């Protein structure tokens, strides 16, 4: 029995030693749930409930946030992609599951196509969030916004993976009136 425990501890220690500690410093992520500029205050409030993170920048145009924290202290022995998942979990919990983070997009913005869809019935934050989540959840959508003031849903898409028609279809299936419908 002692031999098994010693081997287990040795293997666990070896695995931990193979995962290099991530340095403290600023990390930039794609932020989800930032469907309008007015939501920035809500995002800042969520980060205020996470004292181990310092929100240093919100870039609405690229839907990115930069935060400072010490991953090795908060999430010891975790790989970078797992740290992103754990930061996402913390932010989702602090925001009532309305914000999250993902890795930064890898496709250059000039390779993406902007799609603007007129939409009726987006008359409150919750409606905008619902429309945003419908569109943002489609494979190939890199960024999205929804505005009840402007009556539209906007998305940056990878045209090789999705299309305006797919976005309109998804919105219509969920009861959002698009265009002249």
Domain-wise residue ranges, the chain: 22-102, 109-178
pTM of the predicted model over 0.85:
no
Instruction: Confirm whether 22-102 and 109-178 share one CATH topology.
Output: yes
Q: Concatenated DSSP letters for 53-97?
A: -EEEEEETTTTEEEEEE-HHHHSTT--HHHHHHHHHHHHHHHTTT
Say which CATH topology domain 22-102 has.
Answer: Alpha-Beta Plaits (3.30.70)
pLDDT value for 163: 96
Render pLDDT for 48-78 as a digit per residue (tens, 0 to 9): 999 999 999 999 999 999 999 999 999 999 9
167-178: average pLDDT? 93
pLDDT value for 19: 61
Confidence of residue 150 (pLDDT cuts 50, 70, 90): confident
pLDDT value for 123: 77
Give the pair of three-digit tokens for residue 69. Answer: 């924290």
pLDDT at 13 over 60: no
List 65's β-bridge partners, or say none: 29, 58
pLDDT at 8 over 50: no
pLDDT value for 5: 46
Confidence of residue 83 (pLDDT cuts 50, 70, 90): very high
Confidence of residue 18 (pLDDT cuts 50, 70, 90): low
Q: Assign domain 109-178 one CATH number from 2.40.10.500, 3.30.360.10, 3.30.70.100, 3.40.50.10440.
A: 3.30.70.100
Strands 141-147 and 152-157: antiparallel
Tell whether the torsion through CA atoms of 77, 24, 85 and 103 is positive or negative. Answer: negative
């Amino acid at each position: 029995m002692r031999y098994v425990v010693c081997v287990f501890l040795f293997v666990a220690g070896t695995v931990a030693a193979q995962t290099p500690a991530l340095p403290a410093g600023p990390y930039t992520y794609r932020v989800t749930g930032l469907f309008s500029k007015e939501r920035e205050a809500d995002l800042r409030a969520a980060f205020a409930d996470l004292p181990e993170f310092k929100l240093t920048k919100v870039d609405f145009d690229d839907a990115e946030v930069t935060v400072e924290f010490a991953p090795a202290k908060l999430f010891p022995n975790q790989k970078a992609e797992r740290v992103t998942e754990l930061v996402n979990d913390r932010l989702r919990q602090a925001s009532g599951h309305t914000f999250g983070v993902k890795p930064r997009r890898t496709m250059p913005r000039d390779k993406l196509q902007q799609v603007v869809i007129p939409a009726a019935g987006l008359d409150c934050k919750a409606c905008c969030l619902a429309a945003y989540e419908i569109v943002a959840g489609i494979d190939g959508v890199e960024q999205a916004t929804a505005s009840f003031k402007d009556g539209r849903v906007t998305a940056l898409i990878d045209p090789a993976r999705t299309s305006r028609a797919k976005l309109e279809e998804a919105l219509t299936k969920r009861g959002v009136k698009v265009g002249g419908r």
